[in-house]
Amino acid sequence: MSKSLYGYETEQSHRKIHQGQSIRHFTPYQGVIQFVVSSYKQLSDLPEDVYKALIKELGSKYKIISGLHFVVLMENNQYVLIQSPYEEDEVRCIYGSDGNIIGRMIQVDAIDLSPGSIMNGHNVKITGTHRCYLEDQDKYLPISTAGLYGHKVDASNRMNAFKRNVNSGAGIIK
């Protein structure tokens, strides 16, 4: 249970949105990031055998317009394309170059191990030590003691700091 009204309303809306997903049984699947694909490094730049395996699984040619995507070798030795769970700026800030991302474990909650299900999976996480996780912004709420001393406090500005920037996104696949 959240301590603030904002957290309570956010939690309730999250439950309403994901209410239908609780009926489905999502299973966590593990994979290893083999290649990083983005607007500057397309799928066609991958080694030929990996590229052919991906095109065979995806069924058509894809072009990454924006965002960060990972070519992942899953448990059943199939290559799949997974969209990064975080924006490119966050991933680059934490991990740095592609060499630091390649070889990390990634976990995807999906209905089954088919490439289509994995690509549309939920709860994508780059697993590792606790130092590898991005910090949860909902963990800390802004608190001001100005109200204790008679000052007027406008909480809306502080709450706007937690809103997602609409100009940045996870990316577009065509």
Distance CA 130, CA 66 (A): 28
Are 121 and 28 in contact by the 8 Å Cβ rule? The answer is: no
Looking at per-residue confidence, does 157 or 100 come out higher?
Answer: 100
Distance CA 104, CA 35 (A): 10
User: Tokens standing for 161?
Assistant: 């700091």
Look over the chain and give the mean of its residue pLDDT values, rounded to a whole number.
76
pLDDT band at 133 (very low <50, low <70, confident <90, very high): low
List Cβ<8 Å contacts ≥24 apart for 45-49.
46/71
Task: Please tell me the pTM assigned to this model.
Answer: 0.59
Angle, CA of 117, 75 and 31, to the nearest 5°: 80
Q: Where are the domains of the chain?
A: 24-134
For 31-44, how does the pLDDT look when each residue is reduced to its tens digit (9 = 90+)? 999 999 887 888 77
Class of 24-134 in CATH? mainly beta
